[in-house]
Amino acid sequence: MSPRGVATPDVRERLFAAAERVVDKGGPGALTSRAVTTEAGCAKGLLHAHFAGLDEFVAELCLDRFARTAAKARALSGLVGQGTVAGNLDAVVLALFDSGGPALSGLALTRPAAARRIREALEGGAPGFAAIQEAVTGYLAGEQKLGRLAEAVDPHTVALALVGTAHHLLMTSWPGTSDPRPAMTRLVAALLRD
């Protein structure tokens, strides 16, 4: 445990990672500020020293994870012509399920103030599913120009199907349910067929 009065390096990420572990182990109901700080091995008040409360913490955690996945999706543009189209898409869509994605989505839904904060941030331009869809569409269009994706494939529709399915699986999965990753990999392969 970090002693009082000593700076904790990278406190946001440390708390976010601890929260993911707590939710992954015990589900959304297990998340309390004390559970997070205990899991993080830091002072009990640290979460409240950096966030206005648990709802703000949950919202910021979800927004941070959306932003990470959106950045990964934007990086797809640099992969046009490299690797396989399916492999590149898998890496992005499966990233939505990393770090306890389904459990975190469920957590946000159980906390109306956090859900409202997330919605407001997304409406204000924070990266989320729309940014991921846009990046996937651009990537697929680039692959199509190189002839690595059939002309019959509509990049916008494929991106919508991938992001929509990921969203559905995130909202309907919870700890203990079957892993949604294999279904996403099968969907990627099916959508890329001629």
User: CB atoms < 10 A from the CB of 182, how many?
Assistant: 10
What pLDDT score does 51 carry?
Answer: 94
Over residues 38-80, the pLDDT tens digits come to 999 999 889 999 999 999 999 999 899 888 888 888 999 999 9
Beta strands in the chain (DSSP E): none
- How confident is the model over 184-191, as a mean pLDDT? 92
Cα–Cα distance between 55 and 3 in angstroms, integer? 26
Cα–Cα distance between 146 and 141 in angstroms, integer? 9
What pLDDT score does 3 carry?
Answer: 47
What pLDDT score does 75 carry?
Answer: 92
Over residues 9-38, the pLDDT tens digits come to 589 999 999 998 898 888 788 889 999 999
Cα 54 off chain centre by: 19
Name residue 10's amino acid.
Answer: D
pLDDT(177) > 70? yes
SS3 content of the chain, % helix, strand, coil (to 5): 70, 0, 30
1 versus 29: which is more confidently predicted?
A: 29
Instruction: In the chain, count H helices and then E strands.
Output: 10, 0
pLDDT(1) > 50? no
Over residues 112-170, the pLDDT tens digits come to 899 899 999 999 999 888 898 999 999 999 999 999 999 999 999 999 999 999 888 87
What pLDDT score does 175 carry?
Answer: 62
Q: DSSP secondary structure string, 83-148?
A: S-HHHHHHHHHHHTTSTTHHHHHHHHHH-HHHHHHHHHHHHTT--SHHHHHHHHHHHHHHHHHTTS
Could you tell me which residues come within 8 angstroms of residue 107 by beta carbon, excluding any fewer than 6 positions away?
A: 23, 28, 31, 58, 62, 114
| Most distant pair of Cα atoms in the chain: their distance | 62
Name residue 104's amino acid.
Answer: L
Cα 124 off chain centre by: 18
